[in-house]
Amino acid sequence: MINYYTYLKISESASYDEIKLAYRKLAQKIHPDRYKGNDAEEKMKLLNEIKATLLDHLKRAEYDRQLVSFKQFQEKIRKEAQQRAEKEAQQRAEKEAQQRAEKEAQQRAEKEAQQRAEKEAQQCAEKEAQQRAEIQNKKYWRIFGIIFTIFLGALFIAKILHKSTLIKAQQQELAQQQELAQQQELAQQQELAQQQELARQQKLAQQQELARQQKLAQQQELAQQQELAQQQELARQQKLAQQQESPQQQELARQQKLAQQQESPQQQKLARQQKLAQQQESPQQQKLARQQKSDQEHDSMSLDYIDLN
């Protein structure tokens, strides 16, 4: 969503005059007659759309509500992204701590097994030495001691191998559980992203429909203004035609006056009475002429205002 206030470089609480002034300044820069870029018409079209929205109180109020909702949506997305990042960092830290703990436990187990093996080997050696000393001359007991020592060593090795296999199986099971949890979390994130994309597309469609309705309303308003300008032009032409007829009427009156001077005194008296009657009507005609002139000036100012807009 485009921030119209940022585009015009004004604050969101700007007045009607400030918006209009910012529009004019920016229009002078990007007007197609001055700005030769390929996107001049698109920029001018966007600027006119911004003007139509911000200079209309209802449209501006609706746009401000949408802008606030958009900012809240952006803030929500930012917070969710931050929370996900924190959660992932925490999970990585927990995973690293778990791996370190497992590694330390494995090292301790190996060290303890080695110590036990060394201790048992030492004990076996001492025992063998003692047995050899005790049954030095007895072959049977010597063979028995050797067999017993071999049995203990094999049992110890089997025990170590079994424990190592058990630890390895536990590690594999833990890795599988972690991988399954990661896959589930990734699936949830993908589903959330799809829902957010669908919501964005729906909102974009609503904005496009609103822009189409605003453009249709603007075209209707422009058609009304053109019709009003045509009516004012027709009135001006009619008044101009009346003004062009006035010299002909004055010439006719002068000829009538000359004819009256050549007539009899009674006719001159009648002419004076008619002239007096015309003079009495003259203030009304002058008042009517002044009113028509005022209407003409008002129409001219209206046309200038329309041209300015």
Model pLDDT for residues 186-236, shown as the tens digit of each residue: 888 998 888 989 889 999 888 899 889 999 888 898 988 999 999 999 989
- Taking only Cα atoms into account, the Rg of the chain, rounded to an integer number of angstroms, comes to 52
The verdict on 12 and 106 lying in the same domain is: yes
Dihedral-angle region of residue 35 (phi above 0 means left; psi in -120 to 50 means alpha; beta otherwise): beta
pLDDT for the residue numbered 261: 67
Does some domain include residue 142? Answer: no
d(CA 25, CA 3): 18
Confidence of residue 260 (pLDDT cuts 50, 70, 90): low
Confidence of residue 246 (pLDDT cuts 50, 70, 90): low
The verdict on 18 and 64 lying in the same domain is: yes
Contact (Cβ atoms closer than 8 angstroms) between residue 207 and residue 1? yes
| Local structure of 12: helix, strand or coil | coil
Does some domain include residue 221? Answer: no
d(CA 54, CA 15): 10
Model pLDDT for residues 11-24, shown as the tens digit of each residue: 878 888 888 888 77
The verdict on 194 and 286 lying in the same domain is: no
Does some domain include residue 269? Answer: yes
Please compute, for residue 45, the number of CA atoms within 13 A of its CA located in the half-sphere on the CB side.
10
Does some domain include residue 209? Answer: no
Does some domain include residue 129? Answer: no
Q: Has this prediction a pTM greater than 0.85?
A: no
The verdict on 69 and 175 lying in the same domain is: yes
pLDDT for the residue numbered 96: 92
Retrieve residue 83's tokens: 């929370």
Q: What is the CATH number of the domain that holds 81?
A: 1.10.287.110
Does some domain include residue 138? Answer: no
The verdict on 174 and 302 lying in the same domain is: no
Please give the C-alpha separations between residue 258 and each of 144, 145, 261, in angstroms, as whole numbers. Answer: 171, 169, 5
Does some domain include residue 105? Answer: yes
Confidence of residue 88 (pLDDT cuts 50, 70, 90): very high
Does some domain include residue 220? Answer: no
The verdict on 196 and 236 lying in the same domain is: no
pLDDT for the residue numbered 75: 92
The verdict on 24 and 77 lying in the same domain is: yes
The verdict on 282 and 185 lying in the same domain is: no
DSSP assignment of 227-287, as one string? HHHHHHHHHHHHHHHHHHHHHHHHHHHHHHHHHHHTS-HHHHHHHHHHHHHHHHHHHHHHH
The verdict on 236 and 171 lying in the same domain is: no
Confidence of residue 302 (pLDDT cuts 50, 70, 90): low
The total number of structural domains in the chain stands at 2
The verdict on 55 and 197 lying in the same domain is: yes
Confidence of residue 288 (pLDDT cuts 50, 70, 90): confident
pLDDT for the residue numbered 140: 74
Q: What is the mean predicted confidence (pLDDT) over 273-291?
A: 73
The verdict on 34 and 172 lying in the same domain is: yes
The verdict on 294 and 187 lying in the same domain is: no
> Which domain does 252 fall in, by range?
231-308
